[in-house]
Amino acid sequence: MEIPTLSEEEKWEMMHEMFVLNKQMDIGFIMQLGPEKMREYTEMTAQQYADMLRAQSKDNVIGIADGINFS
């Protein structure tokens, strides 16, 4: 049996798809717990992202956009 070789782009695409699927499953489970738990989850996630961006000294829209690779 031959093991296929994936390009870097194919590897990243597969990882991206797995990440999105896992997030969708997480959110689906949390939604079953009710609106209050979903609100807690979104607030916690937003706070974590805000903290991460502040730690990178990206405290405004320009700072965030500067760090995005559009290629």
Please give the single-letter amino acid code of residue 13. E
**Residues 32-67 pLDDT 10s:** 999 999 999 999 988 888 888 888 777 665 656 565
pTM (two decimals): 0.58
Q: How far apart are CA 13 and CA 70, in angstroms?
A: 16
DSSP-based three-state secondary structure for 63? helix
DSSP-based three-state secondary structure for 33? coil
**Residues 5-32 pLDDT 10s:** 899 999 999 999 999 999 999 999 999 9
